[in-house]
Amino acid sequence: MVTKLKPSNLTWWSSPAKLNLFLHINGQYENGYHQLQSLFQLLDYGDELAFEINESGLITLADPIMGVPEEDNLIIKAAKLLRQKAHSPNSNKLGCTIHLKKKLPMGGGIGGGSSNAATTLLILNHLWKCGLPNDAIAELGLSLGADVPIFVHGNSAFAEGVGEKLTYTSLPSTCYLVVFPNCHISTAEIFKDPKLPRNTPKIDFSEYQFSNTKNDCEKLVCERHADVAMVLKWLLEYAPSRMTGTGACIFAMFEQRKEALDVQALLPNNMTSFVANGVDSSPLHNQIQAQNLIV
């Protein structure tokens, strides 16, 4: 087997994970989308991407993701969508090879694909000199997925609507143990299920407490997936815990990182997990500011 050597001069850009600290489904719009409320917590842990710009007009992944056709990959979709909107007479020549260091589990509800898309939009907007403002990039991102705008704007936020109405906030310093039960959840299937609650009353974010919120998808996912139910029950023995998004990842909340690491050490060896700190500002945006990029 030949190992592909990556260029040594690549700049790697953060593509952080997020958690939905709660997820309330308040109703359903006529177009089928769900009206919801949620609280997005960004993490200081995630994937990394690097971009080699060229004028071939081709947009490719250096290492395609097994089981994900290129036309379905959000990274490729994001790059092609941005190129369509580029203010350049030679936009058809804009190309790139995209490198990905994948750390986040797919289908985990922690925003891996959406975060990858946001990082792609923000960095290629700079490298291709597209000149789009952040609000325009977030609008493009929303067409790719409801979670993309939170990563484009790069702040923890209270979300409403389909997830696009964001109120930025500062959250208490918390360390999270995130566990992936090694099963994949279809968001589309969960939101189509007639047993999914769709009438949770709206809350005023000023009255938010973790203890008076829930994840409306959690019960249904646990009924469908015993592994998710098992991990949730186990983590609840140690700390406040909840499923994020439509799953499958479960997070447990700790005041001290050592506490999270101690519980992580008790997990079975075959279980995927990581410990991360909640942050109000995205690691990607911190990188962008440090390098004085205009995006």
Q: Is residue 231 within 8 Å of residue 218, measured between CB atoms?
A: no
Q: Is the predicted pLDDT of residue 2 greater than 50, yes or no? A: no
How high is the pLDDT of residue 268?
85
- Tell me which of 18, 47, 77, 216 is the catalytic residue: 18
Binning pLDDT at 50, 70 and 90, where does residue 68 land? confident
Residue 8 in this model has a pLDDT that exceeds 80: no
Is 227 catalytic? The answer is no
Average pLDDT over residues 31-54: 95
Q: pLDDT tens digits, residue range 264-295?
A: 999 988 889 999 999 999 999 999 999 876 54
Q: pTM of the predicted model, to two decimals?
A: 0.92
Average pLDDT score over residue span 77-95: 89
Residues 79, 2: Cα–Cα separation, whole Å: 28
Report, in angstroms and rounded to the nearest whole number, the Rg of the chain calculated over CA atoms: 19
In the annotation, is 93 catalytic?
no
User: What domains can be seen in the chain, in order of their start residue?
Assistant: 13-169+283-290 (3.30.230.10), 175-279 (3.30.70.890)
Please report, for residues 38, 64, 264, the alpha-carbon distance to residue 178 in angstroms, rounded to integers and kept in the order given. 18, 26, 9
Q: Which is the catalytic residue, given 47, 77, 147, 216?
A: 147
Higher pLDDT, 184 or 228: 228
Burial class (CB in 10 A: 0-12, 13-18, 19+), 94: buried
Query: Quick one: which of 121, 176, 127 has its CA closest to 153?
Result: 121
